[in-house]
């Protein structure tokens, strides 16, 4: 591949399309599926620094990183520098290539105690957290921020600069404020402003929906890499499409129906391997729904996906889906 990658501290990222951290969906199976299609780097679901103090089993599971999805970061959240430093040290047991600090989560249960995007309101504390984590671990430390807390306090440039001074090796910028949550179109000009203000690599995030929009974000903002979240759901081949387009302006069509079903089944099989069939099938239901999006009869099949209990159920569903598409032409996804 001819795409020039980026370097995060000492870690070489061989590409420009990174999988965004996504709690509840970006588990090991999904990250490995995206890496198989060329995601240049993956980030774990966010992990509570407080929960790490108690060796909570589910929390530890979030940090398991396979060799197939590297380089990989473990993302931690919290608001106390010393607790964050301890959490980062604990995370080292899982050999992350770097540690990412969450400064963007908008959920009230995270922002209430001052973590996630609430940190955007206290830039000095952001710097203290980064400095404490950098001092605690030998791997590079990155931050993922938002544009700001709300429209009246867009301060991504200030927060990114403070984090850089405190030792952050890269910054990912989700180009929305906390009060915008996930809805209005991201304002990429804030990514450009951050890129112009810092020397560390800047990863742009927000509304990359395909190969062309990835190229547009890189061009318009000058960012060093893009981070893809929701557009990868049920669509992990987006990384292959982005890479081919950035590399040689080649448009890779989406996989055929049978390939798509095969990718979905392999993804769910991985979930079963890592979580056991009982739990995995419950969590797989939403992924299956995303893979079926846009297919003929999708709404009914997605309803059926809500009852999946086993891989055998999934096999039966796939047969029905394929049969239904053969009856009528497949609509474009």
Ligand X SMILES: Cc1cc2nc3c(=O)[nH]c(=O)nc-3n(C[C@H](O)[C@H](O)[C@H](O)COP(=O)(O)O)c2cc1C
Residue 124, Cβ density class (10 Å: 0-12 exposed, 13-18 middle, ≥19 buried)? exposed
Pick one of 104, 148, 204, 236: the residue that binds ligand X (CB under 6 A). 104
Contacts with ligand X, 46-85, as mask; x by CB under 6 A: x----------------------------x----------
Is residue 218 within 8 Å of residue 250, measured between CB atoms?
no
Kindly state the smallest distance separating residue 23's Cβ from ligand X, in Å. Answer: 4
By the rule CB under 6 A, 105 interacts with ligand X:
yes
144 interacts with ligand X by CB under 6 A? yes
Residues 6 or more apart in contact with residue 106 via CB below 8 angstroms: 116, 117, 146, 178, 181, 182
- Indicate the residue whose CB is closest to ligand X: 229
Is residue 9 at the binding interface for ligand X, with CB under 6 A as the rule? Answer: no
Nearer to ligand X, 231 or 257 (CB): 231
Task: State yes or no: residue 7 binds ligand X (CB under 6 A).
Answer: no
Nearest distance from C-beta of residue 274 to ligand X, angstroms: 18
Min dist. Cβ of residue 119 to ligand X (A)? 12
20 is a contact residue toward ligand X (CB under 6 A): yes
Nearer to ligand X (CB atom), residue 163 or residue 261: 163
Which one among 174, 178, 195, 260 touches ligand X, defined by CB under 6 A? 174
Q: Is 31 in the site for ligand X (CB under 6 A)?
A: no
Taking the least distance from each CB to ligand X, the nearer of 188 and 318 is 188
Residue ranges that bind ligand X, judged by CB under 6 A:
20-25, 45-46, 75, 102, 104-105, 144, 174, 182, 205-208, 228-231
């Amino acid at each position: 591949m001819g795409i020039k990658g980026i370097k995060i501290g000492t870690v070489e990222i061989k590409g420009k399309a990174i999988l965004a951290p996504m709690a509840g969906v970006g588990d090991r199976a999904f990250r490995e599926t995206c890496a198989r299609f060329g995601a240049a780097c993956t980030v774990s679901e966010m992990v509570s620094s407080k929960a790490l103090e108690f060796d909570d089993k589910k929390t530890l599971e979030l940090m398991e990183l396979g060799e197939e999805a590297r380089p990989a970061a473990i993302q931690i959240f919290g608001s106390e520098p010393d607790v964050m430093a301890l959490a980062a040290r604990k995370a080292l047991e899982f050999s992350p290539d770097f540690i990412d600090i969450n400064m963007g989560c908008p959920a009230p249960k995270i922002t209430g105690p001052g973590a996630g995007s609430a940190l955007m309101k206290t830039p000095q504390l952001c710097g203290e957290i980064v400095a404490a984590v950098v001092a605690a671990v030998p791997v590079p430390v990155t931050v993922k921020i938002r544009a700001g807390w709300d429209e009246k306090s867009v301060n991504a440039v200030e927060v990114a600069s403070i984090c850089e001074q405190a030792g952050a090796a890269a910054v990912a910028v989700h180009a929305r404020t906390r009060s915008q949550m996930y809805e209005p179109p991201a304002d990429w000009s804030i990514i450009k402003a951050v890129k112009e203000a810092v020397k560390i690599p800047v990863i742009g995030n927000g509304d990359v929906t395909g190969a062309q929009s990835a190229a547009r974000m890189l061009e318009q903002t000058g960012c060093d890499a893009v981070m893809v979240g929701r557009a990868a759901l049920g669509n992990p081949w987006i990384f292959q499409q982005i890479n081919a387009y950035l590399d040689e302006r080649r448009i890779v069509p989406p996989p055929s129906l049978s390939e798509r079903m095969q990718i979905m089944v392999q993804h769910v099989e991985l979930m079963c391997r890592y979580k056991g069939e009982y739990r995995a099938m419950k969590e797989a239901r939403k992924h299956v729904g995303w893979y079926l999006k846009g297919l003929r009869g999708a709404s009914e099949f997605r309803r059926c996906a809500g009852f999946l209990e086993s891989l055998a159920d999934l096999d039966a569903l796939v047969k029905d889906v394929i049969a239904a598409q053969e009856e009528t032409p497949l609509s474009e996804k």
